[in-house]
């Protein structure tokens, strides 16, 4: 799931039309606040790509919030964010919450940014070779957005092809200093055992946060 500039442009036009603003008029009518417009646009865009459960996620982990502050100060020097921990400890919640906060705060500051969300299984599916080369275009999109959330690393099936495309993704983002928010159910030792060492090497430059606790999803009587 990713967002392109054309999608953002369409959303911008819709927002302006709802406010009674002619998008071809320059400058906008008196009283038009660009930050308010960008925030509304950002919220609409986030609602399109975030799973419904995480559309209002807010990061409550202190280290995650510190990382958000680092990103907002200067995205070009901000490292990636790697969230590790057992199933159900809130990694996806923290990751999507961090994305929401970064996007909305950037809009508040009138900064435009591109971003995308995927999971390892979804990424592998998108990378299956297609006759029209759409998989190559998808890879290029993931490689070049300003901020990428890559959920459930190592949950996808591993083959020579999927390992190569994962490496190409992580290497391009690392080389171009584009932060990635990555989550995984593995601990550091598990990552080194199950993921290509070249990928692990690039992830090692991220801010690494281990989340602990019991499975938050288990509210019933299941063992």
pLDDT tens for each residue of 174-215: 999 999 999 999 988 899 999 999 999 999 999 999 998 665
Full DSSP string of 132-143: T-HHHHHHHHHH
Full DSSP string of 159-195: -HHHHHHHHHHHHHHHHTT--EEEEESS-HHHHHHHS
> Of 100, 105, 109, which is closest to residue 33 (Cα–Cα)?
109
Q: What is the pLDDT of residue 212?
A: 86
Identify whether the C-beta of residue 201 lies closer than 8 Å to the C-beta of residue 192: no
Cα 141 from Cα 144, distance rounded (Å) = 5
Q: What is the pLDDT of residue 34?
A: 81
Residue extents of the structural domains in the chain = 58-210
Q: What is the pLDDT of residue 98?
A: 98
CATH architecture of 58-210: 3-Layer(aba) Sandwich (3.40)
What are the tokens at 41?
A: 């646009």
pLDDT in tens, 134-177: 999 999 999 999 999 999 999 988 899 999 999 999 999 999 99
Identify whether the C-beta of residue 1 lies closer than 8 Å to the C-beta of residue 145: no
pLDDT in tens, 59-99: 999 999 999 999 999 999 999 999 999 988 999 999 999 99
Identify whether the C-beta of residue 185 lies closer than 8 Å to the C-beta of residue 215: no
């Amino acid at each position: 799931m990713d967002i392109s500039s054309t999608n953002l442009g369409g959303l911008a036009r819709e927002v302006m039309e709802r406010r009674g603003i002619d998008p071809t008029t320059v400058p906008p009518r008196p009283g038009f606040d660009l930050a308010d417009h960008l925030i509304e646009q950002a919220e609409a865009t986030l609602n399109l790509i975030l799973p419904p459960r995480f559309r209002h996620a807010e990061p409550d982990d202190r280290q995650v919030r510190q990382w958000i502050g680092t990103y907002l100060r200067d995205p070009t020097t901000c490292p990636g964010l790697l969230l590790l921990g057992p199933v159900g400890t809130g990694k996806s919640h923290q990751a999507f919450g961090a994305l929401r906060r970064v996007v909305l705060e950037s809009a508040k500051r009138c900064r435009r940014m591109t971003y995308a969300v995927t999971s390892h299984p979804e990424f592998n599916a998108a990378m299956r070779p297609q006759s029209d080369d759409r998989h190559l275009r998808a890879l290029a999109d993931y490689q070049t957005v300003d901020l990428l959330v890559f959920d459930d690393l190592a949950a996808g099936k591993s083959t020579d092809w999927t390992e190569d495309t994962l490496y190409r993704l992580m290497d391009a983002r690392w080389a171009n200093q584009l932060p990635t928010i990555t989550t995984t159910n593995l601990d550091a030792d598990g990552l080194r055992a199950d993921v290509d060492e070249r990928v692990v090497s690039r992830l090692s430059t991220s801010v690494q946060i281990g989340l602990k606790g019991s499975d938050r999803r288990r509210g019933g009587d299941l063992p």
